[in-house]
Amino acid sequence: MNNRSFDSCMLMDRILWRQKFCHVHPFCCSSAIYPDCTPESQQAAEHLFKISNWGSEKVSYDTPFVNISKDQVLRNGLDAMNHMRFSQDAQNRILRNTHSCYDPDEDGKSCGVCGTCKERLDAFEKCNMKAIGLDKPFTSFRE
């Protein structure tokens, strides 16, 4: 699993855990240009999850974001954080610590020009927000 997918999964797992869901929700938007976002990859990941975890039959494996755009994923995340009454500061801290770039510099800062960075910028623009997280290297969700 690449860092982008892992980091995104960590964010969604943290949000979903707080809501006490018993589901695995890998974070993948519909985009045929990324191999980890294809239906075949998602089916393989579900199979791997099921054969690699004791008690996996008690956990559902859903891919709710595979057929929606990045801006809709962002809207869903913002709605979930608002529903859970996250402060604006907490929301910004979470968004700052998400990472989408496939070609970060040696310090981990997003390049701002790869396809994923452009999709991220577009998603924030469509949500009438300034892009968060492109100006700072990924560090930790605990920050």
Q: Pseudo-torsion of CA 46, 50, 53, 57, nearest 10°?
A: 120
pTM score: 0.62
Which among 33, 100, 39 is positioned nearest to 66, based on CA atoms? 39
Alpha-helical segments (H) within 24-114 = 39-52, 70-83, 88-96
Indicate the average pLDDT of the chain.
Answer: 75
Reported as a single tens digit per residue, the pLDDT across 15-26 is: 444 444 444 444
Instruction: Give the amino acid at 68.
Output: I
End-to-end Cα spacing for the chain: 23
Residue appearing with tokens 């996250």: 86
Residues near 45 by Cβ (< 8 Å), separated by ≥ 6? Answer: 26, 36
